[in-house]
Amino acid sequence: MHVTTTRLRADQSWSPAQLSQLDSDATLLLLFGAPSLIDKPERLRRVLDACPRSSVLGCSTAGEIHGREISDDSLVVAAVRFDHTTLRNANASVQTSADSYAAGCAIAGQLKQSTLRGVLVLSDGLNVNGSELVKGLNDTLGGDVVVTGGLAGDGTDFKRTWVIKDRALVGGYVTAIGLYGDHVKLGHGSKGGWDKFGPERLVTKSKGNVLYELDGRPALQLYKEYLGDRAAGLPATGLLFPLAIRTSASDGKVLVRTILAVDETAQSMTFAGDMPEGVLAQLMRANFDRLVQGASEAATLAVDHQNDAATPSPTLSIAISCVGRRLVLGERTEEEIEATLDILPKGSSQVGFYSYGEISPYKSGVCDLHNQTMTLTTISEH
């Protein structure tokens, strides 16, 4: 396996030769870029033209990750040429959140076969119910295939996201790449680092990913009481106070949900994933040191899941972290990127993006939708 990564800024000249050398039918081309590229796709088009044979996967972001650095209004590229692994593209429409489950089933159906080992999936970040998307993937693939990825971002604007479908930038789609064969090695890890506070409340009225009532009270009204003056900045300020959900007081599996939109008339909140009636929900807030520690633990999990001390470099790490973490960490955000590379195998390359949701197994088995986590996928061959 051969890996090269690069970052292109708007004012930067660039030669495609480095990428062209890795172009092949067994090459994965990953691209994470500024939301504005959909209006001026020339930079991205030059990269695609340099690799006409490669399988392409990419999306818009709330910040691009390259190595130990984070940037905006850039395009981050990774080209991975495999020696023994084959690739296949898939895509499905997701024009509204109601399409999400069918889109997951369709993606999985296009990719499913006996030699499938992993799926990298990127979705429109606004029109999707991430929980239903991963349910469709899981119901079709089962737990034997590693599924990871994330929801595209749009900074903190929540207006328009894109993915790359058939080498064009489009909204309203889910895209994926399947990796096939016994030589590919995939690791994964996902951790948060937020602290819970206040009482656990029962979700008493919801529909899909729209939350209407907590403990019989209008959800948005109750939420605003906690936010105080910050409520005026919703939905963006909601990223600072996600909700932790679990099925019962004895359930150790806690998933985090972050807000995508609010409805003042209905006093409801729309989340990136399901908020089922009957679950327990509790507010969370940031702990700076624990957020960085969470990123380090995600890297440790990814290395452990690869479970092969003899795995040679190069290893590509795909880091997908939630936009809420970036808002909280501020100038310290690069600390979580540095923390992952400190744990990953020496010589690892890392690219990624800040997202509206992360897709990864909780610890093992089928994938889940996460919010406010650092989620890592490591790829190598043996």
Per-residue pLDDT tens for 236-290?
888 888 999 999 988 888 888 988 889 999 999 999 889 999 999 999 987 888 8
Q: Which of 70, 303, 273 is nearest to 186 (CA)?
A: 303
CB 104 within 8 Å of CB 342: no
- Pairing relationship of beta strands 259-263 and 86-93 according to DSSP bridges: unpaired
The first and second tokens of residue 65, run together, are 């990750």
Burial category of 227 from C-beta neighbours within 10 Å (exposed 0-12, middle 13-18, buried 19 and up): middle
The predicted structure's pLDDT at residue 312: 58
The predicted structure's pLDDT at residue 366: 84
Confidence label for 307 from pLDDT (cuts 50, 70 and 90)? low
The predicted structure's pLDDT at residue 364: 67
The predicted structure's pLDDT at residue 310: 52
The first and second tokens of residue 105, run together, are 């089933």
Rounded to whole angstroms, how far apart are CA atoms 223 and 213? 10
Q: Among 133-137, 266-270, 308-312, which is the least confidently predicted range?
A: 308-312
pLDDT at 311 over 80: no
Q: Per-domain residue ranges for the chain? A: 2-191+289-381, 195-284
For 162, other C-beta atoms within 10 Å of its C-beta total 26
Average pLDDT, rounded, for the chain: 92
For 221, other C-beta atoms within 10 Å of its C-beta total 12
For 90, other C-beta atoms within 10 Å of its C-beta total 18
More confident residue, 53 or 227: 53
Q: Which helix (H) or strand (E) holds 50?
A: helix 42-50
Confidence label for 13 from pLDDT (cuts 50, 70 and 90)? confident
Confidence label for 53 from pLDDT (cuts 50, 70 and 90)? very high
Rounded to whole angstroms, how far apart are CA atoms 369 and 355? 12
Is the overall model pTM greater than 0.75, yes or no? yes
Cα distances from 77 to residues 32, 279, 369, in angstroms, run 7, 40, 25
Share of the chain above pLDDT 70, in %: 97
- The per-residue pLDDT for range 313-368, each reduced to its tens digit, is 689 999 999 998 998 898 999 999 999 999 998 889 999 999 999 999 876 678 88
